[in-house]
Chains A and B, each alone.
Chain A
Amino acid sequence: MEENKKLIKVPTMAEMAANGQEPEVLFWVGCAGSFDDRYKRVTRAFVQILEHVGVKYAVLGTEESCTGDPAKRAGNEFLFQMQALTNIEVLNGYNIKKIVTACPHCFNTIKNEYPDLGGNYEVIHHSTFLQQLINEGKVHVQGGEAFKGKRITYHDSCYLGRANDIYEAPRDVLAALDADLVEMKRSRANGLCCGAGGAQMFKEAEPGRKEINIERTEEALATLGAEGVIATACPFCMVMMNDGVKNKEQEQNVKVFDIAELIAQAEGLTK
């Protein structure tokens, strides 16, 4: 199979700048996309899509650093601003105008909170970006795995949904798969959090009856029935839903995928 695939050399901003080039869009990978083993697969799937459609993109590589979102949500405004001001210096230094990211937390922070600190960019989440690619006919969702008839339920990320009113883009992306999309009872503006936001990802939950991700996973499993896919669009949601599915011992029947992975699979990019 070696001869049927080509090695992707992911371009960095440093290289582009050295060659006097500017990308159409900067792909902000985020910490989970860079370090979390499961989410690295999402990053890779998204890059495969970018390469496949021929978008002129670049990443910051090792120059990227945490946006400061978990620090800010945990109350550490000082650390947040340290991170933000440092990142803004890097981004402005490269004259970045447009940013795409697969992480709703990075998306929200750069889009909504960086402008107050001097960072003004057009920021889009990968769900919107993928929706645009599909609408423009650049992604046909054929040639790969077929999803026809498969049950998929989309779990809304709080920082995409309520925080930024993005409910339809990820659903439109999934609709392109021609799968059997089913909605959980609590969805869109009424969606239930996975339990990881507000820096909960990095601490134990407070004492209670139940973990939030278990509550949400139970709802997803009840919606899907015997088997299916929980689609997410956020690295933290993915961790929480995966843990929930494992806790319920359903990992054989129910898989958790990011919408970018599903598109890459349907497009035949992950073979």
Chain B
Amino acid sequence: MIGISNIIFLIVAAIGIGLFVWQIRKIRKNIQLGRDLVLEDNPSERINKTLLVAFGQQKMFKRMLPAVLHLFVYVGFLVINIEVLEILIDGIFGTHRVLGFMGPFYDGLMAVNEILAALVIVACAIFLWRRNVSRVPRLATGVEMRAWPKMDANVILITEIVLMFALFAFNIADLKLAELKGHELAGAFPVSSMFVNAFGADAGTLATIANVGWWIHIIGILAFMNYLPSSKHFHIIMAFPNVYFSKLVPKGKMTTNPAITHEIKAMLDPSYQPPAPEVDAEGNPVVQRFGAKDVEDLTWKQLMDGYTCTECGRCTSVCPANLTGKLLSPRKIVMDTRDRMEEKGEHPAIFRPNHYKEMGVERVETTDEKTLLRGYITPEELWACTTCNACVESCPVNIDQLSTIMDLRRYLVLEESAAPASLNAMFTNIENNGAPWAFPASDRFNWADELYLPSKN
């Protein structure tokens, strides 16, 4: 039976989904600000990695407690979405528990849903505790963890709890109504049946509660979906493509710039013919910066990293520089990249909330330059990196913080010659003696002098 409420529902759902698509397109545009990069090799290896790291949460299990709690929320999200599908169908066609015809399977599904929903509430409550009461350092501290990122995490957790309570309210009222009418409700409800009398036995009140619970759940989901692009919670979508496109070669391999290779080959061999430079649409040669000064100098994958970051701080908590009090925080590098992208490109976020910079800066002395380098990320942070890959290893969604740090460093050295003096001295030594220290190249083989082996007899 299709009535006025179905039409209202259709309108609400259409607005919610439309707004979401509009935001996604803006984010897509932002990511496309980045340099081209083809990452289509080894699809089977990429799929395997996605199954393990993204679907399977493999890297989460380096830390057991958050891994298990996160698994509750993650599986809860996946499974409860089947019920959301039912809610959508019911909403459009005015049906009631349209999937109920599946009998025992539906019973099982509803029972699993209820248990998961309860676990989601428990997990989110513990997460709130960890953030606000026990204040786990990686979640509660760091210059990049300003007002917005902190509030964002709490908003997400509280919303999830409210959504689960709405689901329970709907189920409890529905269950009691069926009981009053004396017929069996499709599905099994191990949690709601314990609280079946929570809302009394007045049919009118119960119908209202079921209705309100249903609407809060569905509107909550639509609102939540539109909140995602403004939130670290966007990782629930981006984790999958980001892992798929992550680096397959050994972590120690850094990119090689072919433009530089051609330049050097031409220097070493005057007969070498470098390929014609790339030209833009008007036929002008594309002048490529060496390294990265701003977001458009990074690749689209490095920009995608920014939208995938869940701000969990695992990277920063294992960074040797950060652990010993240096300014560098890999999480900040990734969050800065996203914020600068939104400043320069589109503001997909309804509230443009990721931008925290105006709130004042404690220790990181940025300049007013409207670029990622210096405007957000300072040379002091970049020079503190030991390229140890601990951040990359720790990231549950395969963000490559190090590649961005390296590209920014390259800009400092190749375009500005702005390396610390001691590194310039090291460069000079390599140029002159073929070693980073000031030893004459002719002494290189002196280590072999007067070397003996005990004879065997």
Chain A positions within 8 Å of B, measured between CB atoms, are 4-8, 10, 12, 29, 31, 33-36, 40, 43-44, 47-48, 51-52, 59, 61-62, 64-66, 68, 70-79, 81-83, 85-86, 108, 111-113, 116-117, 158-159, 162-165, 189-190, 192-193, 195-212, 214-216, 268-269, 271
Contacts and interface: CB of A to CB of B under 8 A. Distances in A.
B271 interface: no
Given A198-B386, A212-B386, A40 B325 contact: no
A34 B324 contact: no
Contact of A199 (B252, B291, B423, B439): B423
A79 to B, nearest CB: 6
Interface residues of B, number: 72
B400 to A, nearest CB: 13
B419 A75 contact: yes
A203 B409 CA distance: 15
Contacts of B423: 74, 199, 202-203
B451 interface: yes
Contact of B290 (A68, A77, A212): A77
User: Can you list the 5 inter-chain pairs with the closest CB atoms, starting with the nearest?
Assistant: A163-B252, A209-B325, A198-B387, A65-B434, A208-B325
Nearest to B413: A75
B256 A199 contact: no
A162 B393 contact: yes
A113 B448 CA distance: 28
B320 interface: yes
A114 to B, nearest CB: 10
Contact of A210 (B249, B325, B444): B325
Given A6-B452, A206-B380, A34 B326 contact: no
A74 B453 contact: no
A6 B453 CA distance: 5
B436 A31 contact: yes
A197 B384 CA distance: 10
Given A85-B265, A85-B268, A189-B393, A77 B410 contact: yes
A81 B447 contact: no
Contact of B326 (A71, A72, A81, A205): A205
Interface in B423-446: 423, 425-427, 430-431, 434-437, 439, 441-446
B327 interface: yes
B299 to A, nearest CB: 15
Interface of B: 62, 249-254, 256-257, 260-261, 263-265, 268, 290-291, 318, 320-321, 323-328, 380, 383-390, 392-393, 406, 409-414, 419-420, 422-423, 425-427, 430-431, 434-437, 439, 441-448, 450-455
B321 A10 contact: no
Contact of A164 (B250, B318, B427): B250
B429 to A, nearest CB: 9
A197 B453 contact: no
- Among the interface residues A68, A71, A214, A271, which one has the most CB atoms of the partner chain B within 10 A? A71
Contacts of A82: 264, 431
Contacts of A214: 324
Given A73-B387, A162-B388, A35 B254 contact: no
A204 B450 CA distance: 35
Contacts of A271: 454
Contacts of B256: 77, 81, 113, 116-117
Contact of A112 (B249, B384, B411, B446): B249
A228 B435 CA distance: 33
A78 B435 contact: no
Contacts of A5: 452-455
Contact of B388 (A36, A116, A193, A207): A193
A75 B387 CA distance: 11
A95 B327 CA distance: 46
Contacts of B321: 206, 208, 212
Given A34-B435, A163-B250, 4 more contacts: A77-B414, A190-B393, A198-B385, A203-B383
A197 B387 contact: yes
Contacts of B324: 195, 205, 208-212, 214-215
Contact of B412 (A44, A48, A75, A206): A75
Contacts of A116: 256
Contact of B427 (A12, A47, A71, A207): A71
10 contacts: A5-B455, A59-B448, A75-B410, A81-B257, A112-B249, A112-B250, A117-B261, A164-B251, A206-B321, A214-B324
Nearest to A209: B325
